[in-house]
């Protein structure tokens, strides 16, 4: 595959992950984005031996979007600190079934990862082993004539939990289009889901300059 590099400096590289591609290798042995980025760095800069690449965050396999990696240990340390401090801004666009009750809002739940089903269970109050999950959303457009009705949302993550957007939106009756794991009416032909990480804002590792990476995705509402 041809790597879609969206941003690169001496310490960081941001690329676009297509839906269906793993972010990081797993037991399946399937192709993954991390290996593709390593191969790009090795070839582009003629690096001998193993290439350092720090994974800063992940996207689920059926999700497309911007993924940021660290090319150096300094980059990994500085950006990991921003992630811990929640100063990195992550924005998603998603097409969901149904229409949220409010045109914009904040969702706060407590999620428990069910390892047996690899899903997140959603609770209104704190439970044993749960993690607090928060996101905000606003409606961009909607199609009430579709069956079922569909709504295009912009979502900003405040926390980064396993399957957070998928689980929280499904919990309010708005599963993401194609996400049959969380209650969508039918899968998409390519097994992806209508969720994309379209924007990432962070500070560079050394100059502290604020960078925003943005790539538009069209989900037909």
Active site residues: 60
Q: CA 174, CA 157: separation in Å to the nearest integer?
A: 17
d(CA 60, CA 23): 7
Contact indicator for 61, 20 with CB cutoff of 8 Å: yes
Closest CA to 105 of 127, 60, 135, 133: 135
> CA-CA distances (angstroms) from residue 39 to 9, 31, 54, 125, 217?
17, 12, 14, 45, 26
Q: Environment class of residue 195 by beta-carbon count within 10 Å: exposed (0-12), middle (13-18) or buried (19+)? A: buried
Give the Cα separation of 111 and 158 in Å (integer). 14
DSSP letter (8 states) at residue 39:
H
Scan for tokens 């044993």, then name that residue.
Answer: 128
Adjacent-strand bridge partners of 110: 123, 132
Q: In a 3-state reduction of DSSP, which class is residue 3?
A: coil
Cis peptide before 148 (omega within 30 of 0): yes
């Amino acid at each position: 595959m041809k790597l879609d590099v969206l941003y690169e400096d001496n310490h960081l590289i941001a690329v676009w992950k297509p839906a269906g591609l793993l972010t990081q290798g797993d037991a399946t042995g399937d192709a993954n984005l991390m290996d593709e980025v390593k191969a790009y760095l090795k070839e582009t800069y003629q690096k001998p031996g193993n290439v350092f690449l720090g994974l800063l965050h992940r996207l689920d396999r059926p999700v497309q979007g911007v993924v940021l990696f660290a090319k150096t240990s300094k980059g990994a340390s500085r950006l990991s600190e921003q992630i811990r401090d929640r100063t990195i801004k992550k924005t998603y666009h998603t097409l969901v079934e149904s229409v949220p009750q409010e045109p914009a809002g904040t969702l706060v739940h407590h999620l428990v990862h069910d390892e047996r089903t690899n899903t997140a269970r959603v609770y209104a109050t704190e439970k044993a082993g749960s993690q607090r999950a928060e996101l905000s959303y606003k409606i961009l457009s909607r199609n009430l004539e579709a069956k079922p009705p569909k709504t295009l949302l912009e979502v900003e993550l405040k926390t980064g939990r396993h399957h957070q957007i998928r689980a929280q939106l499904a919990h309010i009756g708005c599963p993401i289009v194609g996400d049959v794991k969380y209650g969508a009416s039918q899968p998409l032909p390519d097994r992806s889901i209508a969720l994309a990480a379209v924007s990432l804002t962070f500070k560079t590792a050394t100059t502290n300059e604020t960078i925003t990476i943005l790539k538009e995705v069209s989900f037909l509402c």
